[in-house]
């Protein structure tokens, strides 16, 4: 199955994508993770995109379109998280492949900001910690023991810019894929959200 997961920052896209990927053996493609990895590897695209990411802005379409083309080339199933973010990217995606379903994680700003300001990540396992998942040992990943980090774009000001981008650009994508959209209440706990996705998207 080819899935898109769409939702404002803090809606739990990363957490739910990981759960879906593990349970249904579908690769999780997160453009945010891919761009952060590209920056760590110091590729040309990674360094260029980082100039935008660190300001809380979207990276240029050309960079992200190219990365995505390579990632999707050999995949028959996937859960795509973080792409498309605007109508141009959606048009590009529809030229490359056909999406089956779109999961929309619906959340309000207050809840999203609360979650993001306490968010920490493991750079190795990509596990996301926060209000709903507190690490057993402070600032340490429960699974691999690696130190957790706070994303540089999870500051109040940058969160506001990113949420604005979501409303102005990404939200339009839901209209484009209207017949494929499955809306999920993302204000609940990760377990409850996953249960709803299982029922509504996978039908069990
Ligand atoms: P979030 O959705 O919480 O903002 P992501 O990890 O998905 O976080 O993305 C982090 C940043 O990477 C974005 O703020 C943006 O700068 C960049 N990015 C990710 N996906 C795209 C995309 N499809 N187009 C442009 N920029 C992107």
pLDDT tens profile 93-126:
999 999 999 999 999 999 999 999 899 999 898 8
147 CA from centroid of ligand 1 (Å):
23
132 band by pLDDT with thresholds 50, 70 and 90 = confident
The finding on whether 162 has its CB within 6 A of some atom of ligand 1 is yes
Give the model confidence (pLDDT) of 133-162 as tens digits. 999 999 999 999 999 999 999 998 999 999
Which of 18, 31, 149, 168, when mutated, tests ligand 1's pocket best, judged by the most ligand atoms within 8 Å of its CB?
31
Which tokens hold the place of 28? 């999780």
Q: Tell me which residue has its CA closest to atom 23 in ligand 1.
A: 83
Given this model, what pLDDT does residue 74 score?
A: 85
44 band by pLDDT with thresholds 50, 70 and 90 = very high
**Cα–Cα distance list, 197 to 44, 58, 181, 185, 190 (Å):** 37, 28, 12, 10, 11
204 CA from centroid of ligand 1 (Å):
31
């Amino acid at each position: 199955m080819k899935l898109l997961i769409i939702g404002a920052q803090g809606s739990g896209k990363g957490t739910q994508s990981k759960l879906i990927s593990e349970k249904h053996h579908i690769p999780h493609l997160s453009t945010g993770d891919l761009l952060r990895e590209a920056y760590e590897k110091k590729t040309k695209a990674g360094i260029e995109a980082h100039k935008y990411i660190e300001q809380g802005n979207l990276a240029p379409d050309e960079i992200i379109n190219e990365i995505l083309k390579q990632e999707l080339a050999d995949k028959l199933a996937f859960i795509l998280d973080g792409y498309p973010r605007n109508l141009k990217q959606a048009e590009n995606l529809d030229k490359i492949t056909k999406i089956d379903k779109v999961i929309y994680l619906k959340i309000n700003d207050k809840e999203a900001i609360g979650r993001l300001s306490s968010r920490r990540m493991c750079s190795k396992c990509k596990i996301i910690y926060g209000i709903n998942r507190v690490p057993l040992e402070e600032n340490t990943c429960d699974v691999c023991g690696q130190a957790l980090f706070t994303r540089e774009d999870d500051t109040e000001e940058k969160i506001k810019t990113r949420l604005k981008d979501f409303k102005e650009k990404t939200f339009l994508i839901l209209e484009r894929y209207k017949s494929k959209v499955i809306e999920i209440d993302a204000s609940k706990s990760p377990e409850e959200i996953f249960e709803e996705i299982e029922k509504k998207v996978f039908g069990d």
